[in-house]
Structure 1
Amino acid sequence: MSSGERGQDFPLFGSYRVLEELGVGAVSTVYKAAQPSLDRTVAIKALKPTISPASPFAAHLEREARLLGELGHPNIVLCHDFVKTSEKMYLVLEYIEGFSLAELISRAGKGRVALETVAHIGAEIARGLAHAHERGIVHRDIKPSNVLLSKRGDVKIVDFGIAQREHLPTADEPLARGLSPSRPDENEAFGTPAYMSPEQVLGEFVDARSDVFSLGVVLYEMLTGTRPFDRGDADRRAGAARLRRDPAVPLRVRAPDVPRALESVVMRSLEKLPADRYATAHAVLESLDDFVRARVRGPRNKLVTSALVKVRLLKEHEADDITLAQVLEERRPPLRRAFIGFAVIGLLIAVGGGALQFSRRGVHDNESGDRPLELFPENMGQLRVVVTPWAEVFVDGQHIDTTPFARPIPLSPGTHYVTLMHPNAPMQKRAVTITSGETALLDATMDLSGLSGGGAKDAGP
């Protein structure tokens, strides 16, 4: 139902103006909303009005907010705010304009998703999971409907509602309570059995390898259109029992054309015993990245937009317009807003080649020389910087911005030197290698353990 039809029926969330309802879960409803103060669109995930904020069910929503507050990564949805009163509880989240991976798989059907696209999407999911796992957070509900594909080709993990700290015992949630055939939405409030690891189904301890198993199920489904333990029946209990007991149907049986390199990643992720799987999501990422790198040249986000066009979720002219706008936007230097009024000072015309450059010098030594950063580097690559909690970023001695900033930095191919500075942490220096047409990720944590003055808290930039 459109916002025009609903009118004032929408609940009120402070200064946010609800535009439409996006979806309903077991304990929460998600809305698309406008935030007039920042002129942006957000998503609001609100506790259902029939559930009290003091209820144990509400604790999942609060836990999600607190865990997302610790995460800031390009492949994980951002949490802008969390509000809890005696009557309401809601998260204000980054709004992703696009589609779920479940929609892509459903539209692709037996025709499957292209191999390179499967590997790229899987790598992006693994990248986000690796970031969470490094911070001790296990998602526990990785499935296609919890992965969003933006119209720009971004891949985002959402719904950390049942996420938990690694090595903590699983709560009495999924199957110990019994599955209700008449209310599958209630079961999925605590996880989705078809994508759970065997240890999660049994209510045992889980760690990062449980998410690796779930990712393996998603990869398998993208390649075959079905899940590895499905036998064509709708009995959820039987499916859960098979997951614990039976081996997965070999990927080669259902998709004989899948290369061995990709097949081995999927099947190793699906091993019954955690010790037999990849030990980390980062290891899965490296294997999938190697597969994509050997087959793809150019921006990888186009793999996603092309897949969306192929299944008619996205129109071809929309994808072309978005890709063009993205290239133009990302080729602009990520200058601080304070620079904008002084752009005429910072921009110079390069002698001889006509290349536009900026040459503002950094406030510290430049380990790579005095060359200026190019605004339109030839055969450019990109660098995405993620720092916890935050840092001033310098590249080749030149100040770029303060994290977090959403856009990657366009850089010429080769080695660049990145310096990260935080007033309460030791300076970090990193060398990064940029490859033409690819995006490198620098994910760092500033060491605040040496804070003096009785444990002053970092309040952000």
Structure 2
Amino acid sequence: MSERGQDFPLFGSYRVLEELGVGAVSTVYKAAQPSLERTVAIKALKPTISPASPFAAHLEREARLLGELGHPNIVLCHDFVKTSEKMYLVLEYIEGFSLAELISRAGKGRVALETVAHVGAEIARGLAHAHERGIVHRDIKPSNVLLSKRGEVKIVDFGIAQREHLPTADEPLARTALPPSRSEENEAFGTPAYMSPEQVLGEFVDARSDVFSLGVVLYEMLTGTRPFERGDEGRRGAAQRLRRDPAVPLRVRAPDVPRALETVVMRSLEKLPADRYATAHAVVDLLDDFVRDRVRGPRSKLLTSALVKVRLLKESEADDVTLAHVLEERRPPLRRALIGFGVIGFLIVAAGGALQLSRLGTHDNGSGDRALELLPENMGQLRVVVTPWAEVFVDGQRIDTTPFARPIPLSPGTHYVTLVHPNAPMQKRPVTIAPGETALLDVTMDLSALADSPSAKPGLPGAAGAALGAAAGGAAGAASKDASP
């Protein structure tokens, strides 16, 4: 039962807990999935709209596009159900807040520069993942970015996303035909204040359109207002200002913003796509550099601290998140499998078996295998650069998906690196690590070869699900009442 005493709709075995938000054609619910003992979000077509109606096209398109994506900075789609009576997506549940809430509470200049750059880099990382698969979001705005209590940044609402280099998809949801909506933020065509000029004109859009929208979001985080607003909102529409007026220079409204960050924002806001950054990856690199030069420690703390500052998050919750990330960062990725062994060792010592454990550690069984170390003595590092991107495995263990800035700590000697991309042959490279030195592995994946060589498809165990596995986080397409379905 809802708070109003009405029954929630039924969605298979899912048990609806509460309503999170209502849009023009859909409603988002928080729900329990008893079979897996987890919380999910359900984004459902309104019961007054038939799944066979053209009004349902956006929801189905969103499901199909999300099904192709699997990234820590994009909400994960668990399932899509379409019957003659219902249509709904089952999404990961994001326990947190929208970026719009943070901006609203913080006001002008109250979001730390490092936090702005970090959140921007995370958004750009998710966009880069989508762009690599030919998907343009077309509706990047603060209410479509969720910030979890764990310090994660998630892009949501791919309802008007489209394939890159294709004409704008037919929009059956013309404004005059839309069902009543609680907010203009549920505009089916996108939100004019965040649109690129080419999107406003109905021209072809590509990755650079999302880069423009991201520039508007960054500008708003830094100044509390949008770049094309000059106080004449009553006389001229947002789309008209965006097409004709230059952006107010960031330095005019935020004179203390460092030049490096100002350059990223203002170049992203160029009117002509050719004058912007060509890819979201370029934005990631520049924003990461800005944060790296100014911050030490877990980056998630930047976001959780910002949420505490505006009283969206309690200090105790932020402290728990920070501690978890500190412990995680101190544990080199390749050694995670040893945690269980470490716990067993601790119990043995506690039981009085320290001497026996010491003997086990020095015994030579003649196998020639080296004992893995949690922190290798005289360790070196490996930096991996892959064009366009790949999942990285070292000695059979998955590390991350490029691009990632932090070098991989490795013990001296020879290691074997495997690079996996779904549209390229798998690459295997030996690398030799010298004590105290950083080696570079720079590889270009051959995206043209796989189609001609079926045997070259990636075959590394577990690689097929690695991208989806990386999207752990447990949260949903909309945990905030303000999130726009």
TM-score (norm 2): 0.75
Q: Does 1:33 align with 2:31?
A: yes
Q: Distance in 2 between matches of 1:347 and 1:422?
A: 37
**Aligned positions of 1:167-206 closer than 5 A:** 167-171=165-169, 173=171, 185=184, 188-206=187-205
1:299 aligns with 2:298: yes
Is the Cα contact below 8 Å between 1:53 and 1:88 reproduced in 2? yes
Q: CA deviation at 1:35?
A: 0.9
RMSD between superposed Cα atoms in Å: 4.8
State whether structure 2 residue 289 is matched by structure 1 residue 286.
Answer: no
Indicate if the aligned counterparts of 2:162 and 2:169 stay in contact, CA closer than 8 A: no
Deviations 1:104-140 (A, max 9, x none): 0000012431101101110111111111111111000
- Cα pair distance change 1:20/1:310, threshold 3 Å: same
Alignment-derived partner of residue 107 in structure 2: 109
Paired residue secondary structure (1:110): coil
Whole-angstrom distance in 1 between the partners of 2:176 and 2:232: 19
User: Given that residues 2 and 8 in structure 2 are in contact (C-alpha distance below 8 angstroms), is that contact kept between their aligned partners in structure 1?
Assistant: no
- Give 2:48's match in structure 1, choosing from 50, 66, 75: 50
CA distance in 1, matches of 2:198, 2:172: 11
- 1-side partners of 2:253 and 2:213: how far apart? 19
Contact 2:421 2:445 in 1 (8 A): no
SS in structure 2 at match of 1:22? strand
Q: 1:66 aligns with which of 64, 67, 86?
A: 64
What is the distance in 1 between the residues matched to 2:247 and 2:241? 9
Cα deviation, 1:15-64, whole Å, max 9, x if unaligned, reads 11111111111111111111111111111111111111111221111111
Distance 1:264 1:371, change over 3 A: farther
Cα 1:237–1:267 shift into 2, 3 Å: same
Rounded to whole Å, the distance in 1 between the matches of 2:260 and 2:327 is: 35
- Hey, what does 1:12 align to over in structure 2? 10
Q: Partner residue of 1:258?
A: 257
Instruction: Specify the alignment match of 1:217 in structure 2.
Output: 216
Deviation at 1:327, TM superposition (A): 4.0
Task: Pick closer, same or farther for the CA change 1:48–1:75 going to 2, 3 Å.
Answer: same
Does the 8 Å CA contact 1:118/1:222 hold for their aligned counterparts?
Answer: yes
Which residue is equivalent to 1:400?
Answer: 397
What is aligned with 1:228?
227
Q: Could you tell me how far apart the structure 1 residues matched to 2:23 and 2:160 are?
A: 13
For normalisation by structure 1, the TM-score amounts to 0.78
Instruction: Compute the displacement of 1:390 (Å).
Output: 11
Distance 2:243 2:34 in 1: 50
Of structures 1 and 2, the one scoring higher in RCO (CA 8 A, sep 6+) is 2
Q: Which amino acid aligns with 2:317?
A: E
Residue type of the alignment partner of 2:46 = K
Return the alpha-carbon distance in structure 2 between the equivalents of residues 143 and 379 of structure 1. 43
Aligned partner of residue 169 in structure 2, secondary structure: coil
2:285 is aligned with what amino acid? E
Deviation at 1:372, TM superposition (A): 1.9
Once the two structures are superposed, residues 143-172 of structure 1 have per-residue CA deviations (whole angstroms, 9 ceiling, x without a partner) of: 000111111111111111100000111135
Q: Does structure 2 conserve the Cα–Cα contact (< 8 Å) formed by 1:99 and 1:150?
A: yes
1:26–1:186: 8 Å Cα contact kept in structure 2? no
Shift of 1:381: 10
Q: Which runs of no fewer than 5 residues in structure 2 stay unpaired?
A: 362-368, 437-442, 457-461, 466-485
Where do 5+ consecutive residues of structure 1 fail to align?
359-368, 436-441
Structure number with greater Rg is 2
| Aligned counterpart, 2:276 | 277
1:325 Cα deviation (Å)?
A: 3.4
Q: How many residues align?
A: 428
Percentage identity across paired residues of the two chains: 78
Cα distance in 1, alignment partners of residues 94 and 187 from structure 2: 22
Distance in 2 (alpha carbons) for counterparts of 1:424 and 1:244: 38
* 2:119 corresponding residue in structure 1: 121
> Residues of 1 paired with 2:12 and 2:378: CA distance?
47
1:445, 1:151 → 2: CA distance?
A: 39
Structure 1 residue 142: deviation in Å?
Answer: 0.3
Aligned partners of 2:411 and 2:241: how far apart in 1? 50
- 1: CA distance, partners of 2:400 / 2:22: 33
Shift of 1:78: 0.7
Change (3 A) 1:444 1:87: farther
CA contact 2:97–2:148 (8 Å) conserved in 1? yes
Matching of residues 50-449 of structure 1 within 5 Å: 50-171=48-169, 173=171, 185=184, 188-235=187-234, 238-328=237-327, 343=340, 372=372, 374=374, 394-395=393-394, 397=395, 399-400=396-397, 412=409, 418-420=417-419, 426-429=425-428, 449=451
SS at match of 1:272: coil
